[in-house]
Structure 1
Amino acid sequence: MRREPTGTYDVTVAGGEAVRAFIPAPLPPSPDVDLREGLQRPFEAAAAALGRLDAVTELLPDAAYFVYGYVRKEAVLSSQIEGTQSSLSDLMLHEAGGAPGVLQDDILETSNYVSALYHGLGRLRDDFPLSNRLMREVHAKLLASGRGATMMPGEFRRTQNWIGGSRPGNAAFVPPPPNHVEECMAALERFIHATDDDLPTPIKAGLAHVQFETIHPFLDGNGRLGRLLITLLLCDAGLPREPLLYLSLYFKQHRNTYYHLLNEMRRTGDWEAWLRFFLAGVREVAETAVATARSASEIVTANRSRIAQEGRRASSALRVHRALAERPVDQINGISERTGLSPPTVAAALRLLQELGFVSEVTGRQRGKIFVYDSYLGVLREGTEEPAG
């Protein structure tokens, strides 16, 4: 199917030089996306994988606990794409009151991502529409502290930005001038809420992600919020019901292809090539999440069976183990608060879990010790421990 470029260029002055800024045409694409153009099978495979992810979530004994870790895994991966040096272990140590050996701003940015995601999901559960207002709210959470705190959190940009290069004149891509941002984002909001385009939600999420990245409406945080938008769109439609599908690792692993397809789509209008890549990512990530959920569940179940063999010591140890499955990195006092057990009882239970090889203490301190559920955290950590360049 022959298409034209997906927008127009406007010559504007930025940084004292004239540049060609790209203004995307409103969605949906014209002519319409044709699922028969090599998209039907990728779409069906993605939809089937999403269904399996929903099914395995239903089988998890403590789905909410798994979500806790998976949300943080996504926060780390999405932040790493932007150049932060924090890991999943660092984030959880930070939340447990530890002092990871990374830059504080990196940890704050990653922690902000967790807050932003929870805020967006909470608003959707309260039937607040996925709108520009909500995106600004989520952006404000995302840039609440750290390096982005001075970059107009929660507000659309009022100056020209660019992607790649040291200045607008040698940039890889220049988004719309600031006076076009409001109208472009209003058109994106209308597309998100349109019910007459007959587009399945995964297709719509793929299109909306590209449009958001093309508009680049904020001074900072666009990449992270653009990836969050995918999750919010899918969760708003119940695909899946739990927030367990994130494409950051897929985009990180296929970074060159990702940027190439974005640029080609803008230049040639080849939405189908982008959507094939996107749907392959949805399928791959959903299948990985299913495997991770099963592995995590098997570890927890096997460990609980072993703990149950410890006679009188098993009761409190099982409660502490359950608390660590919920939050795999924590201090004695935190576990005490969540279990209702006294700190000495928690400490005794942790000693048993250490003896069994399930838990380790990572600070070496006499006070403020932090305990890690190693095998469980190891399952979640896959793909996160080498920060992206």
Structure 2
Amino acid sequence: MMNKKRAGKLIKNLSGISEYYSFRPSPLPPEPAIAIDNELNNLIIDAHKMLAILDDRAEKIPDMNLFISMYVKKEALLSSQIEGTQATLEDIFEVNRDESINEDVEEVVNYVKAANYAIDRLNTLPLCNRLLLETHEILLSGVRGNEKNPGEFRRSQNWIGSKNSNITTARYIPPNIDDMKEALSDLEKFINDDSPYDALINAALVHYQFESIHPFLDGNGRIGRLLIVLYLLYKDTIKTPALYLSYYLKEHRIEYYDRMTTVRDSGNYEQWIKFFVRGVYISSKSAIESADKLIELKNSDEEKINSLDISDRRKINIMKLYRHLLAKPIIDIKGAAEELDLAYNTVKSIVDTLMDLDILKQDNDQERNKVFSYEAYLDILREGTEIIL
């Protein structure tokens, strides 16, 4: 049943010494149809169960929007790290980020902005090429790659290979411009039409197809991984963007690329789909464990604050700063005072109290410009974000 042309075929471009072959992907869904065996069926069932539990956890968290924003930041960091970005979780929350920002951190910050924009845009626009273009413009504006036409599909041939590769030595050459335009149109139709397959199978197919089309000069990997969450939200498979699949894809980075290559080389979509759905299950399980730890930590620390024998007004102010830490787990006194509209000395006193409760710790040894972090909170979020050298 399987053959190389199932996923697409090579197309000759130009002639003579300039000749090269680009890949023209077959439109989705694949023909012959996806073979759903017991292994894949069980993977899908288990993944959906985990996604339902994750949605339930996210919705039960009192400060859901704050927690979701943390998940989006973590996914942004992980997805950017897959592309080689050398940034850490601490970099993203750096107090003086505006003064000390570097290109790697700026890329992650842009991803967060792009992801939040795209998720919100789904309320007013279908998941379509226009939405991807708008999101891409935010992703690349003002950062490395901003000379590569942010918000525009490519108008020239690109390729994938080592840093010094060219079109004749490339590992993979995506479709030429005409084939790219047709493939993007077909993909948009597939996303918005009814499909005979489960949404997780479709999400795997959509991500693979987008990466094979490679429609941008830069940012394809990050947009393609964001497209997974956008698709699952769009199809109501998940209710909140609390899934960070890039954690799994980063851990299995070589296999991730190899399995997509195998689809193009042999037409075997099934092995890629199983890898992908297994990743959804593992990523959901990891996110649930993180959510449970965050909820437990929050309840424990709020209990510490509520048990203090102090005035109600002071307790309200302490809780105000504590809630601020859920959005910004690294702070300085001056910045927190300005953002919370509290007096400097009030915030300083609250910070001292939170340090006595082992909620905050000082990050630096300076007498001035002291920086404090909610370390236990960061420890939970930090898992999986270590830089792989």
TM band (smaller chain): over 0.9
Q: 1:315 to 1:98 in 2, by over 3 A?
A: farther
Match of 1:174 in 2: 173
Distance 1:106 1:328 in 2: 20
1:191-244 deviation digits (Å, cap 9, x = unpaired): 00011x222221111100000000000000001111010011112223321111
Structure 1 unaligned regions, length at least 5: none
Residues 15 and 168 in structure 1, CA contact (< 8 A), matched pair in contact too: no
Please tell me the residue identity of whatever aligns with 1:202: L
How far residue 61 of structure 1 moved from its aligned partner, in angstroms, is: 2.1
Taking the aligned partners of 1:171 and 1:37, their CA distance within structure 2 comes to 37
Counterpart-to-counterpart distance in 1, 2:270 and 2:38: 7
Q: What is the rounded CA distance, in whole Å, between the counterparts of 2:17 and 2:121 in structure 1?
A: 41
Give per-residue Cα distances to partners, 1:142-195, cap 9 Å, x unaligned: 101221111110111111111113111111111011232211111110000011
Q: Give the TM-score, by structure 1 length.
A: 0.93
Unaligned runs of 5+ in 2: none
Matched, 1:38 2:39: yes
Pairwise CA distance, 1:76: 0.9
In structure 1, how many angstroms separate the alpha carbons of the residues matched to 2:99 and 2:70? 17
Q: Is the 8 A contact 1:175 1:216 kept in 2?
A: yes
Aligned to 1:124: 122
Q: What is the total number of aligned residue pairs between the two structures?
A: 383
Q: Quick check: 1:388 aligned with 2:380?
A: no
CA contact (8 A) 1:362 1:371 kept: yes
- Residue 277 of structure 2 aligns with an amino acid whose one-letter code is L
> Against the structure 1 CA distance between its residues 59 and 303, is the aligned structure 2 distance closer, same or farther, given a 3 Å change threshold?
same
> For the residues of structure 1 that align with 2:193 and 2:297, how far apart are their CA atoms?
43
Residue pair 1:13, 1:19 contacting (<8 A) in 2 also: yes
Letter in structure 1 aligned against 2:180: V
Structure 2 CA distance for partners of 1:234 and 1:265, relative to 1, 3 Å = same
Partner of 2:150: 153
Match of 2:264 in 1: 266
SS at match of 1:330: strand
What's the CA shift for 1:36?
3.1
Check if 1:2 corresponds to 2:6. Answer: no
Q: Which residue of 2 aligns with 1:18?
A: 19
1:208 aligned partner: 206
Q: Distance in 2 between matches of 1:200 and 1:243?
A: 19
Q: Are the counterparts in 1 of residues 74 and 244 from structure 2 also a CA contact under 8 Å?
A: no
Counterpart of 2:110?
112
Are 1:315 and 2:316 matched, yes or no?
yes
Could you tell me which amino acid in structure 1 is paired with residue 324 of structure 2? A
> How far apart are residue 315 of structure 1 and its match?
3.5
Q: Distance in 1 between matches of 2:373 and 2:204?
A: 37
Q: Secondary structure at the match of 2:241?
A: coil
User: What is the aligned partner in structure 1 of residue 287 from structure 2?
Assistant: 289
Q: Which residue of 1 aligns with 2:190?
A: 191
* Compared CA separation, residues 308 and 15, structure 1 to 2 (3 A): farther
Task: Specify the alignment match of 2:136 in structure 1.
Answer: 139
Q: What is the CA–CA distance in structure 1 between the aligned matches of 2:60 and 2:303, rounded to whole Å?
A: 18
Change (3 A) 1:185 1:355: same
Distance 1:80 1:229 in 2: 17
Out of 221, 224, 232, which is 2:222 matched to?
Answer: 224
Code of the residue aligned with 2:175 in structure 1: it is P
Counterpart Cα distance in 2 of 1:134 and 1:365: 46
Q: 1:15 to 1:331 in 2, by over 3 A?
A: farther
CA RMSD in angstroms comes to: 2.0
State TM-score, norm by structure 2: 0.93
My pick for the range that moved more, 314-323 or 24-33, is 314-323
After superposition, residues 50-65 of structure 1 pair within 5 angstroms as 50-65=51-66
Q: Distance in 1 between matches of 2:51 and 2:107?
A: 29
Provide the C-alpha distance between the structure 1 equivalents of 2:33 and 2:275, rounded to a whole number of angstroms.
Answer: 18
- In the alignment, what sits opposite 2:238? 240
Amino acid at match of 2:160: I
Opposite residue 179 of structure 1, the aligned amino acid is D
Q: Would you say the 8 A contact 2:95–2:331 is kept in 1?
A: no
Query: For residues 355 and 161 of structure 1, do their structure 2 counterparts lie closer, same or farther at Cα, with a shift above 3 Å needed?
Result: same
Greater CA deviation, 213-222 or 239-248? Answer: 239-248
